[in-house]
Structure 1
Amino acid sequence: MKRTLTQLADGRELFYYDRQDGADRGAVDERELPPRPQASELRYDPLTEEWIAIAGHRQGRTFMPPADECPLCPSAPGRRSEIPASSYEVVVFENRFPSFSTRLGEHGPAGGLSEVRPAAGRCEVVCFTSDHGSSFSRLSPEQVELVMEAWIDRTTELSAIPGVEQVFCFENRGAEIGITLTHPHGQIYAYPYVTPRTKLTLAAAGRHHARTGRNLFADVLAAEREAGVRVVAANEHWTAFVPAAARWPYEVHVYPHRRVPDLAGLDAAERAAFGPLYTEVLRRLDGLFGVPMPYVAAWHQAPVRTGRELAYAHLELFSIRRSADKLKYLAGSESAMGAFVNDVLPEEAARRLREVITE
């Protein structure tokens, strides 16, 4: 893999990732861009002991432009985008409208009991392909490997930023999920704290280890592989299954068979084996109702400094679509109390996904 670093017109960093060394990445961003915003602010909620990012500048971010104005497509004569080159394989660049940033400013007190501090960190955009009309499910195994190399490279570098505590690679797909750009892409957040979900799962893993001496995630994977009823797909290095207590109508977790704390711990064989299995799962989701499935795909990696001996890198994929013409809305119980009610039996969801005929 070849990585090339360049800068956009406002000083943001952009990285090209190429399989071959010969790609010309000398194109210059000639746009006139406004100054970059300062970091958002973090406000502490004493009732939940969670940090909330307040990012007012994101209200003005680009929203669903037509295809010929897509900022994630390669640049062309008369149309300059976020990517200066006329073609690319995989690109990562700093988000123009970040929730977290290293450009720290001054933030006054919020009043009350809420502590306020800068939302230090970084947000990046990952373009999976230059093909505007494609999707992750259509990427070749080689392209998925290149995306994974980009995830690993960025996780390693972002983890080294002072104050960053956790790196999160993810994809939002579909208008129903709330995307603002339709080009196949994901994001990476470098948080200045350990996220609430990770705190919960690592605390559970710690209690499990104290009771049994074993890793909780490894035991969950082993139990699902043995039961088999919720397994959707598997190969030598990975298993995809619907969790027994799935929160979402269609939810699939993808685990490597060997425990590693983060993506960088995967060996060459494991990295190569991920793409064929994962894209199969995505095609099964798309084939379930005959329409593109909206989803969130979330990589769970160990925090930078804590819980690494308990963590188990894996991907959690879920959709809010519960039938061809119905969505799962987070209403009173889920939104107000955090208490989920799932309308689809996990075993039935797994069976339906297994029965989808994929190309």
Structure 2
Amino acid sequence: MKNLEFPHRRRNPLSGEWVLVSPHRNNRPWNGALESHSEPHLPSYEQDCPLCPKVERANGEVNPDYTNTFVFNNDFAALLPDSPEIMSAKDDLLQAESSQGCARVICFSPRHDKTLPELSLDELTHVVSTWKSQYQALSQDYACIQIFENKGEMMGCSQPHPHGQIWAHHHLSTEVEREDVHQAGYYRQHGRSLLGDYIERELDQQNRIVEQNENWLAVVPYWAAWPFEILLIVRAEVSDFTQLNQAQQHDLAAILKNITTRYDNLFRCRFPYSMGWHNGPATGQDNRHWRLHAHFYPPLLRSATIKKHMVGYEMLAESQRDLTPEKAAAVLRQLPLTHYKEEGHD
């Protein structure tokens, strides 16, 4: 397509939302807020960290001396399995419903000072297998299982110890329900999965691909809202974590290491983001229209101290970005796969 270096809109087929792309704005001078930035010098073990091995948490429980991943129920869970039923009045304007569920924390490593790109491939494979086993267990009781990670203080993370979370509940979250509707509609119209067709389109065009291997594809999606957003999609007809085989899990660990290493190398910092997995709903429905995928939403725009602010127009109208997804993918592709902290090491 021509003229994509001028303002234009792109549609997200997963959500039905539009994104305003304004490539020329990335050249404007920046006199706005600068985020504080200093690389933390963390110890490998912190006796006051509630996520480290052998530390007593707020509820009095002591973490085991774990060596790979460790999962526990969140001491300050946003969801409870025994929340009382809410009898909402039949009112079109004031509606409420009860929400039962559970929330868990996944410590990715016993090391307090490591993040995903700094873990070994074996350690990352443990993380992936933990995601799968947790999904398998929780999907027996809950329809919607949200596996996610918030990395960095900029994304509201209160602990530097490498960890993620799982929230599981009976209702479908707004984002999962929206993606379910749009993927199902595409399948009814075309007889094929939306993301399956999208993979073929990206492999054909090549200019938004960041990483790929035999089983996974990582792209800056055509409709990306965040500057260096990544969509990570399984290439096989897999709708949720329960269907991943050993090769797919191993390749997922490998591509996660490469993606997150490129992120850290971009601005030579512990690159902040929110990432999360979208699985087909565990409701017993036919999920052939689904394809397992993860979204990475990083806020940084020009440096470790300048982020994209989703305010004003973005909050009141629609998402807007200042560089094309094609340019963002090209920037990420050219980065080395040796982590900047390992430069000069054998």
Give the TM-score, by structure 2 length: 0.78
Listed one character per residue, the Cα deviations across residues 28-57 of structure 1 (whole Å, up to 9, x for unaligned) are: xxxxxxxxxxxxxxxxxxxxxxxxxxxxxx
Residue 259 of structure 2: aligned partner = 281
Which secondary structure state, in structure 1, belongs to the residue aligned with residue 177 of structure 2?
Answer: helix
Residue 100 of structure 1: aligned partner = 79
Q: CA deviation at 1:103?
A: 2.7
- Which one of 289, 294, 310 corresponds to residue 310 of structure 1? 289
Greater RCO between the two (CA within 8 Å, min separation 6)?
2
- Measured in 2, the distance between the counterparts of 1:101 and 1:79 equals 18
Residue 73 of structure 1: aligned partner = 52
- Which one of 96, 104, 110 corresponds to residue 116 of structure 1? 96
Distance 1:115 1:135, change over 3 A: same
Residue 225 of structure 1: aligned partner = 203
1:1-359 equivalences in 2 (<5 Å): 67-75=46-54, 83-105=62-84, 113-161=93-141, 164-305=142-283, 306=285, 308-324=287-303, 325-337=305-317, 339-359=318-338
Give the TM-score, by structure 1 length: 0.76
Q: CA deviation at 1:109?
A: 6.0
Residue 18 of structure 2: aligned partner = none
- Measured in 1, the distance between the counterparts of 2:48 and 2:89 equals 39
Q: CA deviation at 1:83?
A: 4.6
Query: Is the contact between residue 202 and residue 311 of structure 1 (CA under 8 Å) also seen in structure 2?
Result: yes
Query: Is the contact between residue 75 and residue 81 of structure 1 (CA under 8 Å) also seen in structure 2?
Result: no
Distance 1:99 1:79, change over 3 A: closer
- Aligned-CA RMSD value: 2.3
Which secondary structure state, in structure 2, belongs to the residue aligned with residue 146 of structure 1?
Answer: helix
Q: CA deviation at 1:312?
A: 0.6
Which secondary structure state, in structure 2, belongs to the residue aligned with residue 323 of structure 1?
Answer: coil
Query: Is the contact between residue 143 and residue 172 of structure 2 (CA under 8 Å) also seen in structure 1?
Result: yes
Distance 1:125 1:82, change over 3 A: farther
Q: Which amino acid in the other structure matches residue 65 of structure 2?
A: S
- Measured in 1, the distance between the counterparts of 2:60 and 2:202 equals 45
Query: Is the contact between residue 322 and residue 344 of structure 1 (CA under 8 Å) also seen in structure 2?
Result: no
Distance 1:199 1:79, change over 3 A: closer
Distance 1:207 1:107, change over 3 A: closer
Q: Which amino acid in the other structure matches residue 298 of structure 1?
A: G
Q: Which amino acid in the other structure matches residue 89 of structure 1?
A: N
Residue 12 of structure 1: aligned partner = none
Residue 51 of structure 1: aligned partner = none
Identity of aligned residues (%): 27
Q: Which runs of 5+ in 2 are unaligned?
A: 1-42, 339-346
Query: Is the contact between residue 79 and residue 167 of structure 2 (CA under 8 Å) also seen in structure 1?
Result: yes
Query: Is the contact between residue 49 and residue 55 of structure 2 (CA under 8 Å) also seen in structure 1?
Result: no
Q: CA deviation at 1:283?
A: 0.6
- Measured in 2, the distance between the counterparts of 1:121 and 1:80 equals 19
Query: Is the contact between residue 299 and residue 313 of structure 1 (CA under 8 Å) also seen in structure 2?
Result: yes
- Measured in 2, the distance between the counterparts of 1:199 and 1:307 equals 14
Distance 1:132 1:165, change over 3 A: same
- Measured in 1, the distance between the counterparts of 2:216 and 2:139 equals 25
Distance 1:227 1:82, change over 3 A: farther
- Measured in 1, the distance between the counterparts of 2:77 and 2:268 equals 34
Listed one character per residue, the Cα deviations across residues 315-357 of structure 1 (whole Å, up to 9, x for unaligned) are: 11120111113111120222234x1001121011101101111
Q: CA deviation at 1:199?
A: 2.0
Query: Is the contact between residue 70 and residue 81 of structure 1 (CA under 8 Å) also seen in structure 2?
Result: no
Distance 1:251 1:350, change over 3 A: same
- Measured in 2, the distance between the counterparts of 1:77 and 1:224 equals 48
Q: Which runs of 5+ in 1 are unaligned?
A: 1-65
Listed one character per residue, the Cα deviations across residues 173-216 of structure 1 (whole Å, up to 9, x for unaligned) are: 01111111111000001022112222222222222222221111
Greater strand proportion: 1
Distance 1:78 1:148, change over 3 A: closer
Listed one character per residue, the Cα deviations across residues 245-267 of structure 1 (whole Å, up to 9, x for unaligned) are: 10100111111210211011111
